[in-house]
Amino acid sequence: MTEGPKVAVVIISFETRDTLVAGLAALEGSVGLPIETAVVDNASTDGSADAVRARFPGVRVIANAENVGFARACNQGARETRAPLVLFLNPDASLEPGALPALVNLLESRPRVGVAGPRTRSANGDIQVSTGPDLSLASEWRQRRLVRGVARREPGALAEAEARHAREHEPDWVSGACLLARREAFSAVGGFDERFFLYEEDADLCRRVRAAGFQVLFTPQAEARHVKGRSMARAPERARLEYHRSHLLYYSKHVDPLQRAVLRPLLAGRAGVELVAGAVSGDLARCRQALALLRLALGAPAL
């Protein structure tokens, strides 16, 4: 009797054909256990869906007629698969040898773990910040300082990030770039909140998984490589706006009214600074982006 797949690998694609094809080729030889794979393509114009169908006939391709966003596409992929564990994997992320078996063993041996994430590194081997605390004004300020320090390769920031990701622990969230979820836990909370188009859907999911009585776990026993920003590079202005929209939604769902009241003026102030800078430099694109952010900051509630 043939063993069914233990893991459903769900990959969301948007204008990343070459990266996607290379990632699927690497996935075939690195997992070390039976899987099923679904690619959800968000209306790419670069032939991503056709390339996957041609090269990987065993991969299920769901081709959307429009870009429905990351969270909704992830839910589509989960619905089209049946394995008891679901790995959400960015097309620009790849698993190191032995990583998936290590994550699977962790969930199979600990029934209360609902979500697990590996240590991630950039292409050059630098540690990435792939865990963190629940979002708040204070925690985000600290998190941004660390992320920016790592990006600049500041020794202190790199050392702090390495220390954070050197031991197994229960963070509030793990990155959705490579996230293994127990289907039972994922289904119990209704999957990703589809109102998040891009960004913070992972932090929101992990928060709800913990509230449902499951654990969120980070482990350095599994490692992945992640080249950030491939899809975002195709539409940077839209991505930045969705980042702020997602923050407003997350704060509306989970953060106290005082911090919610502060966030919109902060965003409006940032938009004002960008608008002035764009006007002074004659950068019309920067002005348009600032006006879009200002409208968002002054607009209706995110919920």
Which helix or strand (DSSP H or E) is residue 39 part of? Answer: strand 35-42
161 and 247, same domain (yes or no): no
Q: What is the pLDDT of residue 230?
A: 57
Which of 177, 199, 228 lies at the terminal end of a domain, its last residue? 228
222 and 266, same domain (yes or no): no
150 and 61, same domain (yes or no): yes
Domain tally for the chain?
2
251 and 142, same domain (yes or no): no
161 and 266, same domain (yes or no): no
Q: Return d(Cα 142, Cα 265) in angstroms, integer.
A: 20
In a domain, 57, yes or no: yes
Mean pLDDT, the chain, rounded, equals: 93
Q: What is the pTM for the complete model shown?
A: 0.93
190 and 241, same domain (yes or no): no
Q: What is the pLDDT of residue 227?
A: 87
In a domain, 56, yes or no: yes
In a domain, 156, yes or no: yes
Which of 194, 212, 228 lies at the terminal end of a domain, its last residue? 228
Q: Tell me: pLDDT of 235 over 80.
A: no
84 and 190, same domain (yes or no): yes
In a domain, 1, yes or no: no
Token look-up 């950068």 returns 283
In a domain, 150, yes or no: yes
Q: Tell me: pLDDT of 38 over 80.
A: yes
141 and 16, same domain (yes or no): yes
- Structural domain of 245: 233-297
In a domain, 303, yes or no: no
> Which distant-in-sequence residues (6+ apart) come within 8 Å of 81 by Cβ?
8, 10, 36, 38, 60
Q: Tell me: pLDDT of 183 over 60.
A: yes
Q: Return d(Cα 187, Cα 218) in angstroms, integer.
A: 21
124 and 30, same domain (yes or no): yes
Q: Tell me: pLDDT of 173 over 80.
A: yes
Q: Tell me: pLDDT of 180 over 60.
A: yes
276 and 220, same domain (yes or no): no
In a domain, 302, yes or no: no
Instruction: Give the pLDDT mean for 171-180.
Output: 97
In a domain, 2, yes or no: no
Instruction: Give the pLDDT mean for 36-51.
Output: 97
CATH of residue 47? 3.90.550.10
Which of 228, 247, 263 lies at the terminal end of a domain, its last residue? 228
Q: Tell me: pLDDT of 30 over 80.
A: no
Of residues 146 and 236, the one with the higher pLDDT is 146
**20, 40, 177, 210 from 74: Cα distances, Å:** 16, 8, 11, 19
267 and 126, same domain (yes or no): no
Over residues 260-277, the pLDDT tens digits come to 999 999 999 999 999 999
User: Which burial class, exposed, middle or buried, applies to 13 when counting CB atoms under 10 A from its CB (0-12, 13-18, 19+)?
Assistant: buried
Q: Tell me: pLDDT of 32 over 80.
A: no
Instruction: Give the pLDDT mean for 84-102.
Output: 95
31 and 108, same domain (yes or no): yes
Instruction: Give the pLDDT mean for 272-293.
Output: 92
Q: What is the pLDDT of residue 1?
A: 47
